[in-house]
A = this chain, B = another copy of it.
């Protein structure tokens, strides 16, 4: 993939670790949003200066998009792994409790950067807003497809509208991101998760 820039060890070596720098950038974008984050915020948090940032990551927008990629592939991310669970109910269960655990985790900013990174934003940020909307909509679509599978598997009632069910679940998850921003703790989010699951359709 990254065959464009040196796989060979030629030239002065980079003095910082790109992955940890990207983690720092993610943390700032997560907490302040795209518009609310300045390059000074980024360089300070990443421990590098601007030319190094531009050389390594392109520009602010590309850095943001790479940070989002990192966010979704982190070990503690819960959305995609939940899709692998054997039944629709367990998929929902893992998503909801995973969100309750993760979104209020005080080891990083609260909520979800895909939700709050560029919800309302300037025209300069319009493209990253679009990118985040796409991520959210694609997640919803993946969940619908998983529920379609569940219907043929027989662990969702035949009459289930999987599109609505997926949208409903994403709505709750996205609402939990706001709740986490409000200061709700994991236990409070778990209660919301529990209540959501009580209404979840199961195989007849």
Identical chains bound together, number = 2
Q: Is the CB of B182 within 8 A of A176?
A: no
Q: Is the CB of A181 within 8 A of B133?
A: yes
Give which listed residue, B38, B137, B140, B171, contacts A172 with CB less than 8 A: B171
The CA-CA distance from A179 to B109 in the complex, in Å, is: 22
Q: A136-B182, A174-B175 are in contact. Are A122 and B38 (CB under 8 A)?
A: yes
Give which listed residue, B136, B165, B177, B191, contacts A195 with CB less than 8 A: B165
> Does A117 count as interface, using CB distance less than 8 angstroms?
yes
A162: shortest Cβ distance to chain B, in Å? Answer: 12
Task: List, in ascending order, chain B residues with CB within 8 A of A191's CB.
Answer: 161, 164, 167-168
Q: Is the CB of B199 within 8 A of A119?
A: no
A35: shortest Cβ distance to chain B, in Å? Answer: 4
Give which listed residue, B33, B125, B171, contacts A179 with CB less than 8 A: B171
Task: List, in ascending order, chain B residues with CB within 8 A of A176's CB.
Answer: 171, 175
Interface of A is mostly: helix
> Does A5 count as interface, using CB distance less than 8 angstroms?
no
Task: List, in ascending order, chain B residues with CB within 8 A of A21's CB.
Answer: none
Q: Is the CB of B195 within 8 A of A168?
A: yes
> Does A49 count as interface, using CB distance less than 8 angstroms?
no
Q: Is the CB of B31 within 8 A of A120?
A: yes
Q: Is the CB of A179 within 8 A of B170?
A: yes
Chain B residue with the shortest CB-CB distance to A175: B175
* Proximity bits, A91-118, B CB within 8 Å = 1, else 0: 0000000000000000001010101110
Within 8 A of B (CB), among A144-201: 161, 164-165, 167-168, 170-179, 181-184, 188, 191-192, 195-196, 198-199
> Does A45 count as interface, using CB distance less than 8 angstroms?
no
> Does A47 count as interface, using CB distance less than 8 angstroms?
no
> Does A70 count as interface, using CB distance less than 8 angstroms?
no
> Does A121 count as interface, using CB distance less than 8 angstroms?
yes
> Does A51 count as interface, using CB distance less than 8 angstroms?
no
